Amino acid sequence: QSVLTQPPSVSGAPGQRVTISCTGSSSNIGAGYDVHWYQQLPGTAPKLLIYANNNRPSGVPDRFSGSKSGTSASLAITGLQAEDEADYYCQSYDRSLSSWVFGGGTKLTVL
Amino acid sequence: QLQLQESGPGLVKPSETLSLTCTVSGGSISSSSYYWGWIRQPPGKGLEWIGSVYYSGNTYYNPSLQSRVTISVDTSKNHFSLKLSSVTAADTAVYYCARRAIGYGGYFDYWGQGTLVTVSS
């Protein structure tokens, strides 16, 4: 089990908005460490989607946004598209484990 | 454009040592702003950080794997390597190399395509 908890799956219709939560604790997100998000399309390597809580790398559409509050973070995707169907992972640092940690991943299905 | 490419055997016998190399092109592994790391993903499962190395040779390892892991860097060849000893079937995974920004808040911004390593006799 991951120290960062994500829902196993979320779904939404094209054009809708979905959010994916990432719940941590006082030893990781709550300790002030940044949260980052990755998108993994089927059969490919993860791709950095959001860094430092709410920043998008060049080339990532502004339909993707991130936020962080307390011991949790969220990824929001607006204007859902079929190409967004993928696995999404949050990542942070855990000072108790002395490790860079990932959430268990969330599979997004576009209905 | 920075590129990372993993290489190494795709099949390793139980109890033996898994060895992989990540070759970096389009940029220098000697950059002071980044660590270079290994992450793995068992089939159908999530991501697990294995460890990271700085160009100076400084390393961080996942405590759960620390007793079996060695990560080294060769700046002359612009590559870094992973050795995982005493492997079992539980070590079967896709192994990715990636670049991580320095600092505890660092993120992995460039990834290799990954290489599947199967542990089996």
Calculate how close chain B gets to A53, using CA atoms only, in Å.
Answer: 10
B20 pLDDT above the threshold of 80? yes
Residues 54-113 of B with CB under 8 A from A: 60, 62-64, 96, 100, 104-109, 111-113
Integer Cα distance of A86 and B40 in angstroms: 18
Confidence tier at A102 by pLDDT (50, 70, 90): very high
Q: What is the pLDDT at residue B42?
A: 98
Calculate how close chain A gets to B16, using CA atoms only, in Å.
Answer: 25
Residues of B in contact with A34 (CB under 8 A): 105, 107
Q: What is the pLDDT at residue B105?
A: 85
Q: What is the pLDDT at residue A97?
A: 95
**High-pLDDT (> 90) share of chain B, %:** 95
Residues of A in contact with B100 (CB under 8 A): 100
Q: What is the pLDDT of residues A21-33, one digit of tens each?
A: 999 999 999 999 9
Chain B residue whose CA is closest to A88:
B46
Q: Are strands A72-77 and A18-23 parallel, antiparallel or unpaired?
A: antiparallel
Q: What is the pLDDT of residues B62-94, one digit of tens each?
A: 999 999 999 999 999 999 999 999 999 999 999
Residues of B in contact with A8 (CB under 8 A): none
3-state helix, strand, coil in chain B (%, to 5): 0, 50, 45
**Region of residue B63 (left: phi > 0; alpha: psi -120 to 50; beta: else):** alpha
B104 pLDDT above the threshold of 80? no
Radius of gyration of chain A (CA): 13
Q: What is the pLDDT of residues A47-57, one digit of tens each?
A: 999 999 999 99
